Structure 1
Amino acid sequence: MADKFITHFDTALRTLFAQAHSQRPHPDAGLDEAELSAAEKQHALGLMRVNHVGEVCAQALYQGQALTARDHSNKQALAHAAQEEVEHLAWTAQRVRELGGRTSVLNPLWYASSFAVGVGAGLLGDKWNLGFLEETEHQVSAHLDSHLQALPAQDAKSRAIVAQMKSDELQHAHMAHDFGAAALPLPVKQLMALSSKVMTTISYRI
């Protein structure tokens, strides 16, 4: 157990303070930077900062869930999904820099709270753990879809990143469902949506 905590602590440090790397090519590779007004650039920056925070939270959730998951195949599935989230972390961090901004200064807080939620979900049992994962990914996919609507139409680089992230998140949701995810009660889904709203509102600016 001590080794597990050391591993997860190392993952937390790398997520928060090291530069993430992507095994796949960045979705926006080869696309030209668009001409954006100051307002459009600031809006795109805020949205991509939110998406980066979402990936920080995803890393924490997966680490917490993997720590308490019981079935080995579930742990492997969570590890695979977590690796794709690392790539998302790299894509969004680079895009934030390209837009002239910085990632959220509250990332350590977002990580800690999400890790605690992930541990709690795992302690409830694998089917609820997977149910929480499936619902999270569905809500994230809807959130990313709203960003595709909100991003400046000419910002092809940001839009390419968000589109690929959405595709990956839906695959994670299907994976959780196939592994036997339980359907979460409506009040739990509503509480998750409310928590997400608070996080996105704050991280858009900070």
Structure 2
Amino acid sequence: MTTAKTTTNRQDIERYIRVDHAGERAAQQIYRGQLVVLDKHPMGEEIRHMMAQEVEHLETFDSLINERRVRPSLLDPLWGAAGFALGVVTAAMGPKAAMACTIAVEEVIGEHYQKQAENLGEDEAELRTKIERFRDEELEHRDIAVDYKGREARHYKLLHDVIQTGCRTAIKIAEKI
């Protein structure tokens, strides 16, 4: 039997907010990059929907950074540029590749948010609720990408694995720097 954690370590909160802020910066830029190529494509409206949710997530973490006086990632501009480049490049490879990118990213982020939600204490119930909602929205994005045949992209497994490795590496770096 596990007992609920009552308090959350301040360093964990700072790490969660910093990395989530960086991740949401990259995520909204991925969709912005995809729209450069796929704006007029039939899936353009879905990409705009996903981007709007990512912008809301970023605004939430912007507020939390300020309210809780958490230092953002020193590499914040890099996360935005890398996300935009990833979005443009995968969209240029074709709509299925863009959706393969979304599947890969959102799977990692869904797992990441789930772990954070499980590690937050009772003192952070409000933050846990936000993170769980964001997790659900990220997994919705993954499901949209699956519906748009992202798993049928050329070289899907390679693309998926490379992007997930990049995401996991970026998470580790953003937690610290």
TM-score band, normalised by shorter chain? 0.7 to 0.9
- Identify the range of structure 1 (126-135 vs 66-75) with the bigger mean alpha-carbon deviation: 66-75
Identity in percent = 26
Match of 2:165 among 181, 188, 194: 194
Match of 1:74 among 43, 51, 59: 43
8 Å contact kept, 2:104–2:161? no
C-alpha distance in structure 2 between counterparts of 1:99 and 1:183, whole Å: 43
Gaps of at least 5 residues in structure 1 are 1-34
* Per-residue deviation, 1:196: 1.6
The aligned amino acid for 2:19 is: V
Alignment-derived partner of residue 110 in structure 1: 79
Decide which structure has greater helix share: 2
8 Å contact kept, 2:7–2:120? no
Alignment-derived partner of residue 12 in structure 1: none
The aligned amino acid for 1:187 is: L
Alignment-derived partner of residue 148 in structure 1: 117
8 Å contact kept, 1:44–1:152? no
Alignment-derived partner of residue 101 in structure 1: 70
The aligned amino acid for 2:167 is: S
C-alpha distance in structure 2 between counterparts of 1:197 and 1:146, whole Å: 13
* Per-residue deviation, 1:70: 6.7
Alignment-derived partner of residue 176 in structure 1: 145
* Per-residue deviation, 1:198: 2.0
- Identify the range of structure 1 (189-198 vs 103-112) with the bigger mean alpha-carbon deviation: 189-198
Alignment-derived partner of residue 11 in structure 2: 42
Gaps of at least 5 residues in structure 2 are 1-5
Question: What aligned pairs does 1:150-165 form with structure 2 within 5 A after superposition?
Answer: 150-165=119-134
